[in-house]
Amino acid sequence: MKTIIGNWKMNGSRAKLAEMIADLSQIETQNRVVLCVPFTMLDIDSGTINLGAQDVSAHKSGAYTGEVSAEMIAEVGAKYVIVGHSERRMYHDETNDIVRAKAQMALENGITPIICVGETMDEKRAGKTMDVIEACVRESVPNDVHDDIIIAYEPRWAIGAGITPTTQEIADAHRVIADTLSYMGLDGTPILYGASVNVSNASDIVAIKNVGGLLIGGASLKSADLIPIIESVK
Ligand code: PEP
């Protein structure tokens, strides 16, 4: 079984999500499918499709205007939450420490955190990819994890860019993440690849060693794009 997660970002509507859930319920797949949608859609009845949020507060409750806590998203049905997406790291200055606190809040509320790690183009050009990824995993994953977590390797320069790393680069990144998780006692944690996945590259990417599934942005917004990807992933 592979894990396929759609990240709708700030797109869609409740009606569009209901349509997609109806479309997805027609297909047969062994894969775990999760749609990470805006907060306002999390209460929709989603059948066998899991819903997740795209961010969560690092705080339990209190004077944090505009933030939404893990307890609140759990209450409306979120089973998963993306933390540390590159857009949060870039536009909201989220550090590994903040990401770890968010992941911890998710775990404390029975929500599986999808922890995003990845290098910028400057870091890649400087030959720092593996060091950055390793540090991201060590510093963004909470201590003493006893429940499921998911790691998503998302090279930040490739998100929404229509380009992907080479097979070797993806394999190398996933090996470093798998080794780091193993050192932390977290063998078996699914490690997804994300950034510019589409129906033409999905099955090749999931065939790479240590790739446990996909995190998909743009191509998760329409059933016509997402369903062939889910069906191509065995
Ligand atoms: C993402 O934003 O997590 C992502 C993977 O986007 P895209 O697939 O559009 O590159």
**pLDDT, tens digit, 9 for 90 and up, residues 76-99:** 999 999 999 999 999 999 999 999
Q: Is the CB of 205 under 6 A from ligand 1?
A: no
108 is an active site residue: no
CA distance 54 to 219: 16
pLDDT tier for residue 203 given thresholds of 50, 70 and 90: very high
Residue nearest to atom 4 of ligand 1 (CA): 217
pLDDT at 19 over 90: yes
Q: What percent helix, strand, coil does the chain show, rounded to 5? A: 40, 15, 45
Distance, CA 123 to ligand 1 centroid (Å)? Answer: 19
Q: Which domains does the chain have, with CATH numbers?
A: 3-232 (3.20.20.70)
Top mutation candidate among 117, 192, 215, 225 for ligand 1, by most atoms within 8 Å of CB: 215
**pLDDT, tens digit, 9 for 90 and up, residues 94-122:** 999 999 999 999 999 999 999 999 999 99
pLDDT at 234 over 90: no
Q: Is the CB of 196 under 6 A from ligand 1?
A: yes
CA distance 211 to 174: 7
CA distance 112 to 56: 12
Residue nearest to atom 7 of ligand 1 (CA): 217
Helices (H) and strands (E) in the chain, counts: 9, 8
* Catalytic pick among 87, 94, 154, 174: 154
103 Cβ contact partners less than 8 Å away, ≥ 6 residues apart: 83, 84, 113, 115, 140, 141, 142, 149
Task: Tell me which DSSP letter residue 40 carries.
Answer: G
Distance, CA 151 to ligand 1 centroid (Å)? Answer: 14
